[in-house]
Structure 1
């Protein structure tokens, strides 16, 4: 079976890497791919913002399965168009993807189906949002309603900061696009967990949990990013808590989407805050997380292609996901200036030496091939990922590999997994 993966980041590199290991897969094609993906898949050009262009790639390649990586093609209705053409696709329809593409829709959905989440107000005008601040204690969370590549969530410590965030979102000065709706939300305290499940619309199979590090600075300081690192261990949640999340959050979400004529097939990512009141949903994503995918797939011990195919065909209950014990960790190397403005085109050295570290895989996020060498082409450049018998070993190997890699302005956090390590010390 030929598999076509849509996307160009570290998540797609990890997907292509895992799919290429399946005995069911004869070839992996990635559109458009990147410099690292080209080492494990055949890359073909495609504009992820252009639905017709992506459909033309599908028509040319004739894949047995299309795996949609990023959120943008989902929001454009790529899966809907593929299903109309009788082509198997892994990913939700445009209507089901609204759990991610509109935070206002997602919050109201959770309210309708009694899924635990923070108190909120959906505001469609600047003054309405400013007035709603009186309903919340500080700090308060201000969220762009639409897609913002992980940068549309602002935690505001003061009322002045919150007002500036609201004004910046509605004016377009903050993200470069004018928001017509935002969410003002209660700030929750606790530990964040990324809880991902495969779904065929009725059944769900959980992946191993992970914890992302969103802030750019060590000690979880500075601006939000798409994710600077992640780790996964079996100790993050116990079996009783996993069952509670499946029963109180995941299954009501699937049942609710089915009841609203938008059955959810694909990857449901529940971003949870483990609060004193219990797990609460911070957000949904409707695709594999990034960089969660890199760490999670390192621990997968069964056939990814088989599981994704079963989701697309509505027979997930016939498959079983198996996982390697221990831990994994992914540390993101970024360009100087990210998540703000940054320069690209810098040569990357040391990749072969880094890949020689035991248990390490290097997933490319923002790289390109230029005159035969790998150069930087994005804000998040590499996801250096390792697996080990425990978290300390996985992190030690990842950082050993990172210390062998160099490019101008390279930055990464040296404290990934710090909360888990502190608990054990």
Structure 2
């Protein structure tokens, strides 16, 4: 009896209760908005409820996994992920113009989702091994580890996932001690590029102009961002309709399940990438601020866990996973409100989808694991 009590105590102490409370609020809010977004397709609501349960148990299992074991899994997890990405490049299944899936016979997987977790784990493990003696060469090796999966995902093409993977990996490298001075040329180049694009939009967005590094549909997304009205019924339709939905919500919103843009089917992909438009239309500015505060609490808790971690591996991994949440939210809400181009990034805990929800569940489990073992030397 005493042994059973100890096992139960160990299971329940795996949770970080402040983080769990935030996730419970996200679950309630996410399912509430999903119920309104699906309309008559009730099967999606049932599926999303199941996805939350699967993500919860995955989070629980990972939270019980000690960081030393996570460190041992980092290298093989990364190698398997990269090998599967190569498999997608060679034998992947194509759907809607993108080759992102790999059929293993008994199931079909999207390996790029693995790299959102595997890459920061790998880089955190690498810098843990070189703790106290990090040199320029180590940053170059880390950069190579980052670039390989990034370009394999870009080739699919899946720019949204590639940006998330790159962002999570880059955060590990930056937190490991990369000098900000080295980033100044990159920032200047980006500023010059954006300025040139805005200034010469009309010339650069002509159909016969090849952007070389981007596919035509990606070029169209950027050009549509600059001027959605240039193709209001085509490439600009998503952005225009989502902006109308967000703006029509006003201060207080139209009320739960009373969003006209949503229920008259004007918002494309309203259960996935554009679910924030559904939420903003029904709950207004005050509701939008509330969800941003909730995401802020999630990010603050993750950074707190990162600062309290006693190992390099724990600090880097927790910091990168937390910043991954920030990138998710920033990119998704940015594209819904017309600030960023549409790149297909879901909103954490809100958008429909089992794979993305499982990914953020595993990430939260790792944060809980790092917090629980913060006094243990790894």
Q: Same fold (TM over 0.5)?
A: no
Higher RCO by CA contacts (8 Å cutoff, separation 6 or greater):
2
Shorter-chain TM band: under 0.3
Which one has the largest radius of gyration?
Answer: 2
Q: Which has the higher strand share?
A: 1
Provide TM-score, normalisation by structure 1.
0.25
Q: Which has the higher helix share?
A: 2
